[in-house]
Structure 1
Amino acid sequence: MTEVSRMVDAPPESVFAVLADGWSYGGWVVGSSHIRVVDEDWPAVGARIHHSVGLWPLQIEDESTVVVMEPDQLLLLHAKAWLFGTAAVEIALLPRDGGTRTLVRMREHAVRGPGKLLPERVQGWLLRPRNKESLARLADIAVGRRATSRS
């Protein structure tokens, strides 16, 4: 399982608010280029985000589905990646500094399809840089929204 983490200068509820906004998914998930539909009950278990991956005109339409959701603490998704199969993506929010900051931990691994045949070391080599950038974007959105709401 590939794991990356990042300290965010915002409380868990601020970070989770970004995760709970399915329309923001394309802004922080590297590779997701267009959000087509977000189920009304997102991020409830079973809710889906229908998104496109890749650059136009070579986009692939896929979806991500919530498997587990604990408000302000955890989101576990099954993200389809067309050719590569499906990945389990766990985003855990761990309060730090009395709840004023959040350690965000993202774990990902292939659970179905051809991607599952790749050794974990290769999966990590492919996923780690992408997921680090995704967490940097998530942090920027969470901190930026928080700063805007306090103004």
Structure 2
Amino acid sequence: MAHTERTIAVPPDQVFAVLADGWTYADWVVGTTHIRDVDADWPAPGAKIHHKVGPWPVSLHDETVVLKADPPDRLVLRPRIRPFGELTVVFRLAPSGRDGTRVVLEEDIAKGPLRWVRNKLNDLLMHGRNKETLRRLADIAEHRPARRTGDEHQDSAGMARHA
């Protein structure tokens, strides 16, 4: 199993908001190249993201399914890259400091031929991939505009200001 951690400089609800936006999945998941569709109830258990994995022209059409969702603390996914196999990916989010989030990402091969290559080298490769995934997730979460609360108005430049 590959275990990767990173502290992101926004609260857990802001990190989870990125995880909950299925259309951003290809922006932060290394190896996913295109989102074809996202179920309307993503990230509810059973909801799917339909995506392409790998470079053209050998990219595969497949999906990622939500196994469990406990916003803003935990998300468990089952990415499928058939015929090679399926993974189990767990995101655990916890407050860190005043406004940060400690994200723990654990990934393991759940089923399929990829299980035959499960070893320390494979875990190291997955860890490197997941380190980049968390870096991308942090970039999006830290630079995405915060949600408006309803007591804000936009000025002429489109910037939010409190009423």
Fold-level similarity (TM above 0.5): yes
SS of the residue corresponding to residue 104 of structure 2 reads strand
**Structure 1 gaps, min length 5:** none
- CA distance in 1 between counterparts of 2:144 and 2:59 reads 29
Counterpart for residue 106 of structure 1: 105
Contact 2:14 2:146 in 1 (8 A): no
Give the CA deviation at 1:96. Answer: 1.0
Counterpart for residue 144 of structure 1: 143
- CA distance in 2 between counterparts of 1:76 and 1:64 reads 10
**Deviating runs (4+, > 2 A) in structure 1?**
146-151
Give the CA deviation at 1:57. Answer: 2.1
Counterpart for residue 124 of structure 1: 123
Give the CA deviation at 1:111. Answer: 0.8
Counterpart for residue 7 of structure 1: 7
Compare 113-122 and 58-67 and name the one that shifted more.
113-122
SS of the residue corresponding to residue 128 of structure 2 reads helix
Determine what percentage of the aligned residue pairs are the same residue.
44
2:128 is matched by which residue type in structure 1? P
Q: CA RMSD in A?
A: 1.6
Structure with higher helix content: 1
Contact 1:50 1:64 in 2 (8 A): yes
Counterpart for residue 19 of structure 2: 19
SS of the residue corresponding to residue 57 of structure 2 reads coil
- CA distance in 2 between counterparts of 1:80 and 1:123 reads 17
1:65 is matched by which residue type in structure 2? V
Contact 1:94 1:104 in 2 (8 A): yes
Distance 1:147 1:66, change over 3 A: closer
Distance 1:29 1:48, change over 3 A: same
SS of the residue corresponding to residue 46 of structure 2 reads coil
Give the CA deviation at 1:27. Answer: 0.2
Greater relative contact order, per chain length (Cα 8 Å cut-off, separation 6+): 1
- CA distance in 2 between counterparts of 1:135 and 1:35 reads 19
2:70 is matched by which residue type in structure 1? E
- CA distance in 1 between counterparts of 2:16 and 2:79 reads 18
Counterpart for residue 51 of structure 1: 51
- CA distance in 2 between counterparts of 1:96 and 1:125 reads 26
Q: How many residues align structurally?
A: 150
Larger C-alpha radius of gyration, 1 or 2? 2
TM-score by length of 2: 0.87
**Structure 2 gaps, min length 5:** 149-158
Given the alignment of the two structures, is residue 87 of structure 1 paired with residue 92 of structure 2, yes or no?
no
Give the CA deviation at 1:107. Answer: 0.2
Give the CA deviation at 1:147. Answer: 6.5
Give the CA deviation at 1:119. Answer: 3.0
